[in-house]
Structures are given as C-alpha cells and as structure tokens.
C-alpha cells in the first residue's frame, strides 16, 4: 500500500495476464486474468494466480472464468470484480487515476465498457490508450517526434503491427495469430507426426524452450522430452522433440506475422518507411521472445529488428507512463 493521495496507475488488461503499473513504483502486480466464482451464489472465491490454480481442479460449485477474450471484455461484471480486487491489492482504498490499454481497432462500445468497468472497480477517473501506442512508449520509442517508428506486439491472442509518428498511430494491423496460435499449431503437429496428444501447458513449454521462427536457423542439437497420451494405445508416452520439429509446427503462423509486417511497411509513406529503415522495428509482447523471430523478420523485410527490453512489461509500463501527458489526453 502506498498511503493517501491520488495515484497514477496504468493497467494492461491482457487476455492472458493483467499487469498494474504504479507511477514511481513500476510494475506492482502481474497475475493471470482469471476469476473463480461460486456458481450458486455468484460470489468471487479467488482472483489471479490463486484462481488460475483452480482451473481444471474446481469442485462442482466453483468455476474459473477468463473474463477477457481477444483483448476485449467478454464478461463485464467479472472483469470489474477482477480489477477491483487487483486495485485493492496494490493501492488499497485510494481513488486512482487509471489508464487502461485496449487493442487498436476496438469499437467505441468496447472502449466504453473498459472505462466503465474501471470506474466500477474504484477509479476516480479512467481513460484508455491504444495498445501499440502504449507498447511504443514502454519500449522507449520517440512517439511524439515527427520521426516514424514501427512496433510489433506479439501477445497471447493477437499480433499488432503499427507505425507511429507525431503522437499518433499512422497505420496499423491486427491479426489473430500470436502465442496461443503457436501453441495450438504445436499440439496439432505432434498429434499428426507422432500420434501423441499433449496439453496446452506442454505446447507452451516447447515453444519457450526450443521454439524457432525458422526451420533453417533451428538448432538441430536442441531437443526436449515431452509426455503425452498415445492416440493408438491411449497410454502415456514420452518422445524426444527437436527444435526443427518445433519450427516446422509454427512455420505458417510465423509467415502470417511476417506478411502483416510487410504489408504495413508497404502502406507507409516513403518518409516514414525511410525512418523505419534507419531506426528499425521494435518487437514487444511475450511472442517477441520466440527463438529467431527477430532475425526472420529482419531477413524478410531488410530492416533491422530489435526486441524491446522488458518485452512482456512494455505495454503496462507505457500505459502507466502515458499518464504523464494526462493534460493532453483530457483535452481529447
Ligand atoms: P497478452 O498481452 O496477450 O496477455 P503477453 O504479451 O503477456 O500477452 O504474451 C503472452 C504470450 O507470450 C503467451 O502466448 C506466451 O506463451 C508467450 N511467451 C512468453 N514467453 C515466451 C518465450 N520465451 N518464447 C516464446 N513465447 C513466449
Ligand atoms: Mg499485451
């Protein structure tokens, strides 16, 4: 808790994780966007990490809910309850000024829902900022300058590509190919090639440990042993999976991301394209950490590509930092 007075808070209300940034403190909370509820009374039983641990293990009367889907609110009351809990946990009962990020291209109705849920959760004032813009601020890009920047945020549900100049988004594109899709592709590849059924957690672990955005660049010596259920016998089985396998599994998904980046580059004005060639493309979000992804995007576009420092926290940091310009935001 941080005592009395108004606090400036940034919230990255992600499909997978919610992060809370407090001005002057940095990231103070990073928990799964999950709420456990009692089905008969509707009462909230647990939120965040504690609720996630209940997934798949809940007794009949308790259900674990993910209230966000594809970056927007799917269950309004549960989202508000979750935010209320996270705000109380981080700043107590003070009435903060809150900025929440939303994916670019969401509707006014969806933005309004985020603002209202934030107010219901205890905010004195609530505003929204577009995620690629927040990611760019968090990555330290000169968003207010005339110089153009490009950011590619690869999250759980979506990949968002945006060019930014003079404090605004010049062009953007959002595709539903990102971390979750990689996991699904890994699951179906292993089912087809090895008749083995593996879970989501295993697929994610494979991606993080030996994943590669390129089959050619994949390290053949790198492998992990994974366990699953043999589809022929129905019994548990262990196989050795290589980095080349993992790369093959997600090749098409990676191509779609590369295409989205290329198309966005093709659409930009020659001046902004020149700035991007000079300063490079910045990758943010958890997907930015996929092995060889930065190299592949750079090879395919002939533009330097960098992974932002704190890739997973960039959006939350930028959302919080944007409150420093609250006077500009209030005028809009
Ligand atoms: P969101 O903002 O949508 O909640 P995040 O930016 O937090 O998403 O990123 C979550 C995604 O990043 C998940 O799909 C996760 O598996 C993936 N991820 C995290 N670390 C890595 C890694 N080292 N390599 C590849 N993917 C990763
Ligand atoms: Mg995100």
Look at residue 291 and tell me if it is in a domain.
Answer: yes
Look at residue 2 and tell me if it is in a domain.
Answer: no
| Domain hosting residue 117, numbered range | 8-133+315-331
Domain match, 159 and 297 both = yes
- For a pocket test of ligand 1, which of 16, 185, 209, 246 has the largest count of ligand atoms closer than 8 A to its C-beta? 16
Pocket of ligand 1 (CB under 6 A): 14-17, 155-157, 179-180, 204, 207-208, 211, 285-287, 289-290, 312
pLDDT digits (tens, 9 = 90+) for 189-213: 999 999 999 998 899 999 999 999 9
- For a pocket test of ligand 1, which of 67, 287, 319 has the largest count of ligand atoms closer than 8 A to its C-beta? 287
The number of distinct structural domains making up the chain is 3
Distance (angstroms) between ligand 2 centre and the Cα of 87 equals 19
Q: In whole angstroms, give the CA distance from residue 158 to residue 182.
A: 11
The vertex-50 CA angle with 45 and 55, nearest 5°, equals 85
pLDDT at 105: 80
Domain match, 209 and 165 both = no
**Maximum Cα–Cα distance across the chain:** 65
Residue ranges, the chain, pLDDT below 70: 1-6, 56, 327-332
Of 200, 215, 250, which closes a domain? 250
Look at residue 1 and tell me if it is in a domain.
Answer: no
Please state the atom number of ligand 1 nearest to the C-alpha of residue 291: 24
Write the CATH number for 231. 3.90.640.10
Choose among 49, 17, 51: nearest CA to 36: 51
Please state the atom number of ligand 1 nearest to the C-alpha of residue 286: 12
Nearest CA to ligand 1 atom 26: 287
Domain match, 190 and 243 both = yes
Distance (angstroms) between ligand 1 centre and the Cα of 44 equals 27
**Ligand nearest to the backbone CA of 101:** 2
Domain match, 152 and 293 both = yes
Of 250, 265, 296, which closes a domain? 250
Domain match, 55 and 122 both = yes
Domain match, 44 and 121 both = yes
Please state the atom number of ligand 1 nearest to the C-alpha of residue 12: 2
Please state the atom number of ligand 1 nearest to the C-alpha of residue 207: 25
Write the CATH number for 262. 3.30.420.40
Choose among 209, 181, 186, 223: nearest CA to 291: 209
Q: Is 255 left (phi over 0), alpha (psi -120 to 50) or beta?
A: alpha
Domain match, 76 and 173 both = no
């Amino acid at each position: 808790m941080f005592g009395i007075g108004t606090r400036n808070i940034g919230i990255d209300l992600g499909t997978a994780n919610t992060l809370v940034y407090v001005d002057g403190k940095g990231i103070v909370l990073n928990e799964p966007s999950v709420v456990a509820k009692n089905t008969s009374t509707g009462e909230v039983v647990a939120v965040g990490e504690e609720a996630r641990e209940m997934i798949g293990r809940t007794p009949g009367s308790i259900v674990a809910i993910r209230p966000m889907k594809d970056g927007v609110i799917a269950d309004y009351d549960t989202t508000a309850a979750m935010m209320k809990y996270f705000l109380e946990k981080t700043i107590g009962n003070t009435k903060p000024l809150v900025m929440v990020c939303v994916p670019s291209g969401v509707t006014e109705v969806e933005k309004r829902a985020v603002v209202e849920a934030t107010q219901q959760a205890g905010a004195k004032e609530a505003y929204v900022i577009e995620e690629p813009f927040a990611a760019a601020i968090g990555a330290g890009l000169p968003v207010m300058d005339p110089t153009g920047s490009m950011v590619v945020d690869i999250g759980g549900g979506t990949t968002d590509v945006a060019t930014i100049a003079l404090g605004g988004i010049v062009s953007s594109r959002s595709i539903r190919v990102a971390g979750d899709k990689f996991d699904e592709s890994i699951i179906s590849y292993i089912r087809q090639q090895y008749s083995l059924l593996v879970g989501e957690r295993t697929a994610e672990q494979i991606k993080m440990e030996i994943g590669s955005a390129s089959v050619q660049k994949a390290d053949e010596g790198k492998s992990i042993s994974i366990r699953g259920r043999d589809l022929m016998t129905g019994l548990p089985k262990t196989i050795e999976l290589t980095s080349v396998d993992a790369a093959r599994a997600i090749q098409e998904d990676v191509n779609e991301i590369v295409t989205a980046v290329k198309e966005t580059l093709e659409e930009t004005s020659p001046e902004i394209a020149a700035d991007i060639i000079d300063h490079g493309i910045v990758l943010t979000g958890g997907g930015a950490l996929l092995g060889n992804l930065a190299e592949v995007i750079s090879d395919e576009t002939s533009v330097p590509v960098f992974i932002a420092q704190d890739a997973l926290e960039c959006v939350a940091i930028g959302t919080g930092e944007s409150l420093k310009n609250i006077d500009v935001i209030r005028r809009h």
